[in-house]
Structure 1
Amino acid sequence: MIQIRNEIRPIRNEDTETLVAIWLEASQFAHSFLGQERLQLQSEQVRDIYLKQAENWVILENGQPAGFIGLMDQFIGGLFIDTKIHGKGLGRQLLDHALELKKTLSLEVYALNTQAHSFYLRNGFTETARDPQDGEGLPFEVIHMSRDL
């Protein structure tokens, strides 16, 4: 079976609102344990800070932004795909693209986000460490992972 690759391109200003909406919906699904108020605040930070600071790559589905990966050097700050089209290989394509660019990648994932943890394991990442709380000091275990090309 031939895998059709979706177009991946750098973020554009006009992508911002769509990507923030994708981030928020995916986070409500995967990080519901953080609570709606915190996720809403974080979505503003994604819009106003993180999308501007990271090296962001957008994947298109039918010509429209369907997800993105945010890189800070070799660290994946986030990988989010429109929840309506999970399972179509878009996340894997973004990971492959980032690996081609960086050769080595690392990330942190919440232990409670078992789907993401499993996704990274299936895609060749290995656990390197665990922290009992996240970067904001909240009591949510974080798993550190990495992968080389």
Structure 2
Amino acid sequence: MPETTIRQSFGTAEYPALATIWRNAVDATHDFLAEHDRDEIEAHLQSDYFPAVTLSVAERGGRPVGFSGVLDGNLEMLFVDASERGGGIGTALLTQATREHGVTTVDVNEQNESAAGFYLHHGFEIVGRSETDEAGRPYPLLHLRLN
């Protein structure tokens, strides 16, 4: 298996590839998400969400396979292509985010049990809960802080 490397995003030219990774990851892990909500989020990725964060991209064999987005010490997003799940890419991105970008907090969908377990396994603890996501949609969030 090729080595995973992490680099800063090349910018807007790379956004379509990252949106494809996002869609693959969400389709594989967010079965609780209504189709219209998924489509609405996807419509804002490249215009609103990606430009608002510091994006890091994980590559294997020169091909993007995952990414993270950080803002003010909060991990706003971390997605791994569905075909690469379980291969250490998420751990590499999380490690880079905590070490190089000072990430200490993350919110995770409560219904995404595998993601919540991932963060808990990596030293985060639940410090709060919201009934809705940041846009007011009916997807409860767990608020986590690095222990």
Q: Normalising by the residue count of structure 2, what TM-score does the alignment of the two structures yield?
A: 0.91
Query: In the aligned structure 1, how far is the partner of 2:15 from the partner of 2:54?
Result: 13
Q: Gapped runs of 5+ residues in structure 1? A: none
SS of structure 2 residue aligned to 1:46: helix
Cα offset, 1:138, TM superposition: 2.4
Query: In the aligned structure 2, how far is the partner of 1:14 from the partner of 1:121?
Result: 34
- CA offset digits 1:55-75 (Å, max 9, x no partner): 000010111111100001101
Cα offset, 1:53, TM superposition: 1.4
Q: 1:102 maps to what in 2?
A: 101
Cα offset, 1:14, TM superposition: 2.9
Q: Does 1:6 align with 2:8?
A: no
Q: Percent identity?
A: 27
Aligned amino acid, residue 114 of structure 2: Q
Query: In the aligned structure 2, how far is the partner of 1:5 from the partner of 1:101?
Result: 19
Cα offset, 1:94, TM superposition: 0.6
Aligned amino acid, residue 121 of structure 1: L
Which has the larger displacement, 32-41 or 65-74? 32-41
SS of structure 2 residue aligned to 1:101: helix
Q: Gapped runs of 5+ residues in structure 2? A: none
SS of structure 2 residue aligned to 1:58: strand
Residue correspondences, number? 145
Q: Normalising by the residue count of structure 1, what TM-score does the alignment of the two structures yield?
A: 0.90
Cα offset, 1:91, TM superposition: 0.5
Q: 1:18 maps to what in 2?
A: 17
CA contact 1:30–1:113 (8 Å) conserved in 2:
yes
Which has the larger displacement, 90-99 or 139-148? 139-148
Query: In the aligned structure 2, how far is the partner of 1:63 from the partner of 1:103?
Result: 26
Aligned amino acid, residue 120 of structure 1: Y
